[in-house]
Structure formats: structure tokens, C-alpha cells
Amino acid sequence: MFLSGRQSEILEIAKAEGRVLVEDLAQRFAVTPQTIRKDLNDLCDSRVLSRVHGGAIFPGGTENVKYEARRSIAATEKQAIGREAAALIPNNASLFINIGTTTEAVGEALRDHQELMVITNNINVANKLRLFPSIEVVIAGGVVRGSDGGIVGEAAVDFIRQFKVDYAVIGASAIDADGALLDFDFREVKVAQAIIANARHVILVADSTKFERTAPVRIGHLSQVHTFITDECPLDSLRRIAADSNVRLIEVSRSADSDLR
């Protein structure tokens, strides 16, 4: 595909920030929104970007979007998902929280819980929750990934296998239409698989941009979780899998719409 200078720059912005918005790009390049939409359509038709409402995202492939950019993608939706997940976890419970910006939102929403034991391989979650005396934080050992503070590797897997907890909160970098849960780092995936295997109730948290992305390493399948919380699920295939596998699907945007009626 031949890219114009502007399209090449749009692609680089998307790689760095994870998502680009039509209005922002129109202002940046001093062109009309229609011009930007054509650029995005060309980039999406060539499968280097994926369209989302109001713009496009860098879909990944073999490399993840940078951590700070991931935090800003669908930030409001992640906060709502985090609150919904936290509401399902009672006081006096034990739980795993793994790596991810959406799982971090769950950790933020757990601050007022009492007598929790949180086992995590996410330094960011541990650093925030350690400030609350009613929450005991246990952190896994292993290799610390400099990009996002995730703890990965065989030592982390062995550590996780020592526990059997009430709940697990897991994320995924991408979710395929066939229900496959995907990520980028096979070392992280091994830890996530150990977390799934050693929790009585697994809560998957993922915003709707994850349906537009792809990643090369398989964590598992939607049918392996008990509750799936997202802002919106646009794929009928995933709805069918959830229904057939007795997975509770919670869409926080629909819940919010119902509350407003």
C-alpha cells in the first residue's frame, strides 16, 4: 500500500498512542474531518488500523501498544468496568489480579473493600492497594517487565500455583470472534493461565476496543471464565458462546442506559 505523508504520520501517531480521533487529527493537520475519515478508511481497508467510533485504533499483531497509551484508551469505559467488577467481589475474599490497564481499574475500585487478600503480578496494583490497611497485598516474584510493571516468567507461575482463591480478575489484549482470549507475551500468558486454573470464579474484564485488535499468543477461551464484563459486546458470536457456556455477560454501557430510563 502507498501511504501519503499525512497517512504515514497518522499511522505513527496510532502506533504511539493506541488510538486516533477524527476531530483531533483534523485540527492537527488543518484539514476537514471528511479528509481524515478518507485517510482512516484507506488505512483500515489496508488492515493497518481498525475503525472504532470517532476514529481508529492500532490493532496490534506482534507488538502491543505502549503502556501509557493503553491507559488512555477507553479510560472512562475501563473505570465503569472496574466499578462493576469490584461490586461483584465481597469483603473477606481472596483474589488474583493480573496485568492490564483494565484490571488496574478494578484494583482502584476495590479501595473501600474490607479484609481482602489480593495476590497480584501487577506492580501498579500492588503499589496502590498497599496503602489501605484493610487490604493485604501479596506480590508474585519473577521478572519485572520494564514497559508496564508486570511480573512474568516461571517463578511467577510457580508462585501463583501455591494459592487457591475465591476470585480472579484477568484481562486480555485481544478477543477473537471465536472466543479466543489473546495476548502478546507468552510469559504473561503462562501466568494468566495459572491464575485461571487456581480461582473459583474468574472475571474477565475488557473494553470493546479489544474486539478490534489481534495478538499472537492464546491465553484461553471465553468459555473458561464465569463472568465477562465489558462496556459493549458487538459480536453476536461472543454472545452465543457466553450463553452456551453459562458465562454471565455484563455490558456496563447497557446498564447505564437502563438506569437513565
| DSSP letter string, 69-120 | HHHHTTHHHHHHHHHHHHHHSPSS-EEEE-SSHHHHHHHHHTTT-SSEEEEE
180 occurs within a structural domain: yes
Look up the domain containing 18 and give its range: 5-59
pLDDT tens for residues 187-208? Answer: 999 999 999 999 999 999 999 9
Residues 82 and 185 in one domain: yes
- In this prediction, residue 124 has a pLDDT band, given cuts at 50, 70 and 90, of very high
* Final residue before a domain boundary, out of 23, 41, 59: 59
Number of domains in the chain: 2
Q: Determine the pLDDT at residue 61.
A: 56
Question: What is the torsional sign of CA 30, 21, 40, 58?
Answer: positive
CA dihedral 28, 30, 209, 142 (to 10 degrees): -20
pLDDT at 260 over 50: no
Q: What mean pLDDT do residues 134-145 have?
A: 94
64 occurs within a structural domain: no
Find all residues with CB under 8 Å of 36, minimum gap 6, and list them: 10, 22, 25, 26, 29
80 or 258: whose pLDDT is higher? 80
3-class SS of residue 18: coil
3-class SS of residue 137: strand
Residues 76 and 112 in one domain: yes
